[in-house]
Amino acid sequence: MRLGVISVVAFAVASASTLALSTTGILPIAMALFFACFASAELAGINSWVFRQSVTPDNLQARVNTSARMVSLGGYPVGALVAGFVAQVTNVRAGLVVAAGGVAVSLTIGVVTRLVTADPKATIPDVGGSDISGIRP
């Protein structure tokens, strides 16, 4: 199975389970949906890490992984702020709907950018200037 398919399916499950979580008040169902949401989000995260490492040349691994981590982790506080504000102004269910919408945006980006057909055997071209072996501390 292609790595992009795993990410797109994981985003779909995360979005659907978060949206379903906003509609239930039954604790065992809510717990199962919560687990499905976060398990699929973790799967998408691990999958993106594996994909990045498989297409990035060795001498660029640290830069690419650090940049991707900063971008992805930078989105969490923004999403939490927006969903928390909506939950405070309206109710928790509305905040969960906003959270599901945020994940749906990731799903849409994955589909529109053809993540599903991405080839993990392809590599990012190594551009000049990436060799830092001559730099001394």
Look at residue 135 in the predicted model and tell me its pLDDT.
Answer: 46
Parent domain of 61: 3-117
Report if residue 135 sits inside a domain: no
Q: What is the pLDDT of residues 86-108, one digit of tens each?
A: 999 999 999 999 999 988 998 89
Look at residue 136 in the predicted model and tell me its pLDDT.
Answer: 46
The sign of the torsion formed by the CA atoms of 128, 131, 134, 137 equals: positive
Phi, psi torsion values for 39, nearest 5 degrees: -65, -45
Report if residue 103 sits inside a domain: yes
Number of folded domains that form the chain = 1
Report if residue 55 sits inside a domain: yes
Are the C-beta atoms of 59 and 131 separated by less than 8 Å? yes
Report if residue 11 sits inside a domain: yes
Are the C-beta atoms of 14 and 40 separated by less than 8 Å? yes
Q: What is the pLDDT of residues 27-47, one digit of tens each?
A: 999 999 999 999 998 998 888
Read off the pTM: 0.76
Name residue 121's amino acid: K
